[in-house]
Each structure stands twice: as structure tokens, then as C-alpha cells.
């Protein structure tokens, strides 16, 4: 009797495997499993994370196209300039500076970053303004004090 239970389970597993093989694989799955190819670029550029991962891992990827997609999200714009050879610093900085945290990280990690541009973005949040003033050489500490005035980060 136990044999029939295993037989039924095996049939179910075989059906699941067959359905999985027939199902369309997303480029996200392909990127994760190392199955993505150059022909998947169009789909990869529909999401910022996928575009970043595609440009990073697929030889001959169109860096400009992937960068445009990745730069729709400040976090992925930061990672793109950090990891992808041939990325345009100005485009990535423009995108990263839409978020105070990303602007701060950009100024800390990216050689050649426009500190003034990053500073303006970081100063939208008193915490990141405080961090920026303390960590970035050339930061406008007077402006930081103004931003932090009346907050827990006042100094």
C-alpha cells in the first residue's frame, strides 16, 4: 500500500517538473541562475535591478541602455556606477542624488563625484546632512548646521 503512495507522489513530482520546464522563465530567474543571454537584454531593461545585473554579468551588454534602466532607481544607479565598467558617472549621479542616502553613499564611494551635487541631495534629510558633514572632505559644514538646526543632529 505504501508503494502506491510513493507512486502517486512521483507522478505529481513528474507533472510539476514538466510544468516548470514548459513555463516561460523570466529574465530575473535567468540572471539568478546564470542562464541569461544577450537576447534577454530588452526584458532585463524593464527593471532597474535586472538591468544592473544584466550589465554586470553579460558580456557585450549595451551599457548605455542598461544604465538608463538602472538609473530609474537611485539605489541601482549607485550600484551601477560602483560595479559596471563603462558607466557614465554624471547619469548615475543624477539618479543617485534623488535620494539623500544614495547621494551620501555616492560621495563616499565614487571617486570623481560632484560633492556639491551630492551635498544638496543629502541635505534633504538632517541625518544624512550630519553624516555628510562628518564624513566628506570639502562638505559645507555651515550649510549642514543650518539643515540640522533644531533636530537631534544639531551640532
pLDDT per residue of the chain (155 residues) written in tens, 0 to 9: 455 566 777 787 777 776 666 667 888 888 988 989 999 999 999 999 999 999 999 999 999 999 999 999 999 999 999 999 999 999 999 999 999 999 999 999 999 999 999 999 999 999 999 999 999 998 999 999 999 999 999 98
For residues 27 and 23, what is the distance between their CA atoms, to the nearest angstrom?
A: 13
For residues 64 and 141, what is the distance between their CA atoms, to the nearest angstrom?
A: 36
For residues 82 and 66, what is the distance between their CA atoms, to the nearest angstrom?
A: 14
**Gap between the terminal Cα atoms of the chain:** 77
For residues 54 and 63, what is the distance between their CA atoms, to the nearest angstrom?
A: 9
Tell me which residue of 123, 52, 114 sits closest to 89, measured CA to CA: 114
Amino acid at each position: 500500500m505504501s508503494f502506491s503512495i510513493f507512486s502517486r507522489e512521483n507522478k505529481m513530482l513528474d507533472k510539476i517538473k514538466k510544468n516548470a520546464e514548459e513555463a516561460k522563465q523570466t529574465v530575473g530567474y535567468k540572471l539568478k541562475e546564470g542562464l541569461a543571454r544577450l537576447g534577454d537584454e530588452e526584458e532585463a531593461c524593464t527593471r532597474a535591478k535586472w538591468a544592473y545585473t544584466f550589465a554586470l554579468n553579460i558580456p557585450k551588454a549595451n551599457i548605455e541602455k542598461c544604465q538608463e534602466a538602472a538609473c530609474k532607481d537611485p539605489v541601482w544607479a549607485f550600484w551601477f556606477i560602483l560595479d559596471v565598467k563603462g558607466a557614465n558617472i554624471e547619469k548615475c549621479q543624477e539618479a543617485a542624488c534623488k535620494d539623500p542616502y544614495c547621494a551620501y553613499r555616492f560621495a563616499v564611494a565614487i571617486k570623481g563625484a560632484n560633492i556639491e551635487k551630492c551635498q544638496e541631495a543629502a541635505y534633504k534629510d538632517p541625518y544624512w546632512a550630519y553624516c555628510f558633514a562628518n564624513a566628506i572632505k570639502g562638505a559645507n559644514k555651515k550649510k549642514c548646521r543650518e539643515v540640522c538646526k533644531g533636530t537631534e543632529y544639531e551640532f
